[in-house]
Structure 1
Amino acid sequence: MRLDQFVAAQCPDISRTLARRLIDLGGLHAGGRRVSQCSRGAVCGETVELFIDGLSLDLYVLTPADILYRDDYLLALDKPAGIETQPTPARYKGTLYAALLEYLRDPRHSARKTELGMVQRLDRDTSGVILFSIHPRAHAGLTKIFSERSARKIYLALVSGVPAEAQGEIRSHLARGRDNRVRSVPRGGKEALTRYRVVETFADAALLEIELLTGRSHQIRAHLSEAGHPLLGDIRYGGWAELRGETVPRQMLHSASLALQHPVGGKPLVLEAPLPADFLACLQRLQPPQPASGTKDTAC
């Protein structure tokens, strides 16, 4: 029996058509290995696993408008929210990495391998600046810049509550628990350092500028949650699911700028990404209501 037929037979809620699309994305693993061909037969005694992430089944396609900077060595993108940066168990296709490989592929030299290096990652629901190397000469230098913490990474975050201090620093050691959440631990873990500055305050929330001095997985999300100010929309770390009666579409975290010296030549680079529409909409909802047109203040 073909694998698409096998999945449809074992999972009543999954049609054969849907099974094909999930397999094509890379979400089916047989015998511990990813399978990309629906026509492959199911093997008796072999473990078959299907991973589904709930994201769009349509492949993400990169456009020139997504590119913030490009030269012969580097390429910076304005990553949209809702896209995985790199392959996951649920998909190989449809990731930012796969879309960039396709975008860079030279149709005149289809057999030539695309040199694409990844030195940073953004969570699925984080938007904004992300940088790749596209030449082997740049990759080692870029890796060194990030490992030595020479790049300045600035994020904008909408959080619940207003921090007591206008600026501060959060330092701890982070480790991932059995529930897959990252949290501070008294021993072990990896050193993590986050600096913040309050940019704007609202009645029950705040806009923060975050400087990420280390790049641990879920660092900003864990540190802000433990400080009592989780990201809006970050349900896993205690953030609000709704704001002013409307659903918060995702965690409100945006990679706003990245400053570094070019790994080839050393010229200074400052890469910036504007706030996306969903972030701006949440900011607008936090603003106090405006008085009706034509009304006048009355003196006491």
Structure 2
Amino acid sequence: MRLDQYLASCSDAFSRTLVRKLVDLGGVHVGGRRTRKCAHAIRAGEMVEVHVDGRSLEPFVLTDEHVLYRDPFLIAVNKPAGVETQPTPARYRGTLYEALLHYLHNPFRPRDKPELGMAQRLDRETSGVLLFSIHRRAHAGLTQAIAGRSATKIYLALVSGAMPNPSGEFRSLLARNRASNLMRSVAKGGKEAITRYRVLQEWGAVSLLEIELLTGRSHQIRAHLSEAGHPLLGDVRYGGPVAVAGLDIPRQMLHSWRLTLDHPVEQRKLTLEAPLPADFQYLVDRLEAGAPV
């Protein structure tokens, strides 16, 4: 039996149309491997898994308006919030990685797979600058610059409460808590994480911070701010409020704003900036206009 026919026969929740979209996204796995062909023939005894992340079934497509910079070695994009950086069990198509491969594909040389090196990642709900290498001569140099401390990574964040000082630093060892699956500071056994901040503006119970990320641990900014009692607005997993100024917060208010580094091939200084997305800018404007918080 065809894969789409089989899934449609398993449950009334699986229409043939829905199954086709899930298969196309890459959310259906047969025998432990992602399968993107509806006509795939199911054999007796095979395990079929369907992963659904509850988000749009329309895949993200990268366009010229998302590209901040491009040369023969690098490409920088302004990642929208809500887009996965890399493939997940629920989707391959529509992730930033897949969208970049499609964008870089040369239709006149269809057999040539684009070179794509991923040295950075952003959480799904974080927006802003992401830089990729697109030539083998740049892969190692970009990875070294991002993993080391030669690159300057600046974020903008809206957080709950007023910070105790106009600037400061969080330094701890971070490790994933097995029970909660959240990153937490530990006395030993974690990886060093250093986060610096500077207050740009305050509106009573909300602050706008400029954050410099000296290390690149998973959920580092989210964990440090939450532990300090100032979680990101909208960051439900780390205790952030879901509404402020009478407005619902649709996501965590974190934006990768500026990245500065030496070009890994040409050795010149490169500074990349991503403008604030509309939802972040709208909230700042409302706060500036005096919305009660």
* C-alpha spacing 1:182/1:8, structure 2 compared with 1 (3 Å): farther
RMSD: 1.4
Instruction: Using the TM superposition, give the Cα deviation of residue 44 of structure 1 relative to its aligned residue in structure 2, in angstroms.
Output: 2.8
Kept after mapping to 1: 8 A contact 2:147/2:216: no
Structure 1 residue 277: deviation in Å? 0.7
Aligned partners of 1:74 and 1:133 also within 8 Å: yes
| Matched letter for residue 34 of structure 1 | R
Shift of 1:138: 0.6
1:166-205 matched pairs, under 5 angstroms: 166-178=166-178, 179-205=180-206
Q: Does structure 1 residue 148 correspond to structure 2 residue 148?
A: yes
Cα 1:26/1:258, change in 2 over 3 Å: same
Match of 2:40 in 1: 40
CA distance in 2, matches of 1:81, 1:89: 19
Q: Deviation digits for residues 100-128 of structure 1, max 9, x if unmatched? A: 11111111110012101100001111111
For residue 260 of structure 2, what is the amino acid of its counterpart?
A: A
Task: Name the counterpart of 1:122.
Answer: 122
Partners of 2:8 and 2:162 in 1: how far apart?
Answer: 50
> In 2, Cα distance between the equivalents of 1:289 and 1:173?
39
User: Equivalent residue for 1:236?
Assistant: 237
SS at structure 2 position matched to 1:109: coil
User: Is 1:27–1:91's contact at 8 Å kept on the other side of the alignment?
Assistant: yes
Query: Which residue does the alignment assign to 2:99?
Result: 99
Return the offset for 1:95. 0.7
- Quote how far apart the aligned CAs of 1:187 are: 1.8
Q: Contact 2:154/2:210 (CA < 8 Å) preserved in 1?
A: yes
Contact 1:243/1:285, CA 8 A, preserved across alignment: no
**Structure-2 separation of matches of 1:149 and 1:257:** 15
Matched, 1:260 2:257: no
Distance in 2 between the 1:49 and 1:231 partners? 34
Offset at residue 13 of structure 1 (A):
2.4
The aligned counterpart of 2:165 is 165
C-alpha displacement of 1:184 = 1.3
Offset at 1:280?
0.8
CA–CA distance in structure 1, aligned partners of residues 227 and 174 of structure 2: 11
Cα distance in 2 between the residues matched to 1:12 and 1:189: 46
CA distance in structure 2 between the aligned counterparts of 1:205 and 1:288, rounded to whole angstroms: 14
**Aligned letter for 1:40?**
H
CA distance in 2, matches of 1:245, 1:14: 38
Residue equivalent to 1:250: 251
User: SS of the residue aligned with 2:108?
Assistant: helix
Unmatched 5+ stretches in structure 2: none
Does the 8 Å CA contact 2:32/2:47 hold for their aligned counterparts?
A: yes
Report the Cα distance in structure 2 between the residues aligned to 1:11 and 1:242, rounded to whole angstroms: 37
Q: How many residues align?
A: 290
Would you say the 8 A contact 1:145–1:151 is kept in 2? yes
Match of 2:285 in 1: 284
Answer with 121-130 or 39-48: which moved more: 39-48
**1:172 positional shift:** 1.1
1:37 Cα deviation after fit: 1.0
* Alpha-carbon distance between aligned partners in 2 of 1:105 and 1:47, rounded to the nearest angstrom: 33
TM-score computed with the length of structure 2 as normaliser: 0.95
Q: Give the superposition deviation at 1:183.
A: 1.3
Identical amino acids, percent of aligned pairs: 62
Larger radius of gyration: 1
Superposition TM-score, scaled by structure 1 size: 0.93
- In structure 1, C-alpha distance between the alignment counterparts of 2:254 and 2:228, rounded to whole Å: 16
Q: CA deviation at 1:288?
A: 5.1
Within 2, Cα distance between the matches of 1:146 and 1:127?
Answer: 18
1:132-143 aligned at under 5 Å gives the runs 132-143=132-143
